[in-house]
């Protein structure tokens, strides 16, 4: 690989889509407004003109219909990328995703596979109120037969798609909508594919472990910076993969720091944070010097006013307070 270049998260997704369409003629993109409009978040801008209507397909406003069509195409040997505009709209396709895509390999005794990639925007922070501010990653991470990933960096947004397309089973990619304008350096040239089954330690530390993913990674890193000024060293683990969870990386970090705080934009009840906390108690109980902490969204539909939306979702101050509580400092 040669030197790096700066691109946005949005451009990284677009580059990944272009690369996939170029490398494999079986790949096509389908979803609402992905063609002429260029995607709800401009991730597919220009791809219709470049690849044509057979490869970049605008669909009717029927999530169940076009996700089902994607499953059928995958069963027929294609490599579809289905874009669902926002995570709340994916609920209209739950039957297709959970009862068909996730189960067909098992219900056919291994005779069928569904190499389908489903992309969707998730998360709060854009004042879209209770309609479009959901963080439902945990719902999908609950389902056997799916792989679930959440790219939190520009490099992962660029590299995860191709790896997902090479998987013989369905992969759901959650792109936090507040990240699309983020800009960072990525490698230029070479194979940019990244692992979609392991966590990454984004910051080394010795006093506490912050376990997080997606749109909460930046906040966790910012909290670690604040705490470092007071001599508190936080390790930050970016899960990247939500199913399967990389228990080994989490537990290795906890064994080093002896404290764990999970930062999860999902609601606290029945959350991914609860699952990670339980696994940590099961596997690393004697390494812990304090109970596992959780920083989650408030148990309310996400409000529209900016100050209330901020108050309802994990923020740097809350993460800092949780770490101080675990350290009793």
Mean pLDDT, the chain, integer: 96
- Co-location of 256 and 216 in the same domain: yes
Question: Please, how many CA atoms are within 13 Å of residue 100, restricted to the half-sphere of its CB?
Answer: 18
- Co-location of 122 and 18 in the same domain: yes
User: pLDDT tens digit string along 58-83?
Assistant: 999 999 999 999 999 999 999 999 99
- Of 130, 163, 188, which marks where a domain is finished? 188
Tell me, what's the pLDDT at 187? 86
- Of 188, 208, 240, which marks where a domain is finished? 188
CATH number for position 250: 3.40.50.920
Residue 178 has pLDDT above 80, yes or no: yes
Kindly state the average pLDDT of the residues 23-43. Answer: 96
Q: Could you give the angle at which helices 247-257 and 272-284 cross, rounded to 10 degrees? A: 60
- Co-location of 58 and 179 in the same domain: yes
Which residues are known to be catalytic?
63, 132
Q: Is residue 194 part of a domain?
A: no
- Co-location of 65 and 176 in the same domain: yes
- Co-location of 240 and 264 in the same domain: yes
User: pLDDT tens digit string along 295-320?
Assistant: 999 999 999 999 999 999 999 999 99
- Co-location of 159 and 301 in the same domain: no
- Of 188, 222, 240, which marks where a domain is finished? 188
- How far apart, in whole angstroms, are the C-alpha atoms of residue 69 and residue 71? 5
- Co-location of 107 and 241 in the same domain: no
**Domains in the chain: how many in total?**
2
Give me the domain span that covers residue 19: 2-188
- Co-location of 108 and 224 in the same domain: no
- Co-location of 164 and 212 in the same domain: no
Burial degree of 278 (CB within 10 A; 0-12, 13-18, 19+): exposed
Q: How confident is the model at residue 1 (pLDDT cuts 50, 70, 90)?
A: very low
Tell me, what's the pLDDT at 231? 97
Q: How confident is the model at residue 2 (pLDDT cuts 50, 70, 90)?
A: low
Kindly state the average pLDDT of the residues 112-141. Answer: 96
- Co-location of 70 and 149 in the same domain: yes
Q: How confident is the model at residue 188 (pLDDT cuts 50, 70, 90)?
A: confident
Helix/strand/coil (H/E/C) assignment for every residue in 34-83:
CCCCCCCCCCCCCHHHHHCCCCEEECCCCHHHHHHHHHHHHHCCCEEEEE
- Co-location of 29 and 163 in the same domain: yes
């Amino acid at each position: 690989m040669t030197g790096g270049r700066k691109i946005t998260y949005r451009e990284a997704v677009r580059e990944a889509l272009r690369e996939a369409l170029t490398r494999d003629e079986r790949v096509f993109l389908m979803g609402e407004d992905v063609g002429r409009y260029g995607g709800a978040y401009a991730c597919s801008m220009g791809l219709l003109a470049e690849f044509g209507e057979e490869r970049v397909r605008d669909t009717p406003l029927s999530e169940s219909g076009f996700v089902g069509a994607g499953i059928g195409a995958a069963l027929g040997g294609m490599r579809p990328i289905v874009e669902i505009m926002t995570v709340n709209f994916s609920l209209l396709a739950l039957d297709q995703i959970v009862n068909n895509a996730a189960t067909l390999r098992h219900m056919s005794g291994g005779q069928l596979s569904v190499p389908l990639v489903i992309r969707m925007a998730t998360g709060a922070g854009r004042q879209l109120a209770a309609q479009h501010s959901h963080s439902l990653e945990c719902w999908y991470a609950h389902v056997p037969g799916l792989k679930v990933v959440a790219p939190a960096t520009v490099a992962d947004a660029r590299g995860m798609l191709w790896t997902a397309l090479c998987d013989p089973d369905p992969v759901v990619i959650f792109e936090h909508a507040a990240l699309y304008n983020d800009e960072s350096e990525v490698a230029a040239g070479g194979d940019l594919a990244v692992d979609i089954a392991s966590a990454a330690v984004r910051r080394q530390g010795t006093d506490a472990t912050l376990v997080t993913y997606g749109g909460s990674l930046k906040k966790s890193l910012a909290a670690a910076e604040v705490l470092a000024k007071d001599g508190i060293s936080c390790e930050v683990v970016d899960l990247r993969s939500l199913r399967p969870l990389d228990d080994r990386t989490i537990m290795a970090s906890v064994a080093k720091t002896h404290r764990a705080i999970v930062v999860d934009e999902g609601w606290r009840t029945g959350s991914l944070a609860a699952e990670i906390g339980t696994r940590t108690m099961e596997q690393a109980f004697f390494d812990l010097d304090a109970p596992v902490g959780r920083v989650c969204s408030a148990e309310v539909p996400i409000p529209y006013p900016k100050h209330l939306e901020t108050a309802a979702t994990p923020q740097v101050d809350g993460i800092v307070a949780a770490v101080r509580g675990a350290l009793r400092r």
